[in-house]
Amino acid sequence: MDSFPKDTHRYAFAMVEAARKMPVDVAEKLDHIKQLRFNVQLKRLRKRINKRIT
Instruction: Choose among 5, 1, 6: nearest CA to 44.
Output: 6
pLDDT of residue 52: 74
Q: How confident is the model at residue 54 (pLDDT cuts 50, 70, 90)?
A: low
Query: pLDDT tens across 2-47, in order?
Result: 677 888 889 999 999 999 999 999 999 999 999 999 999 999 999 9
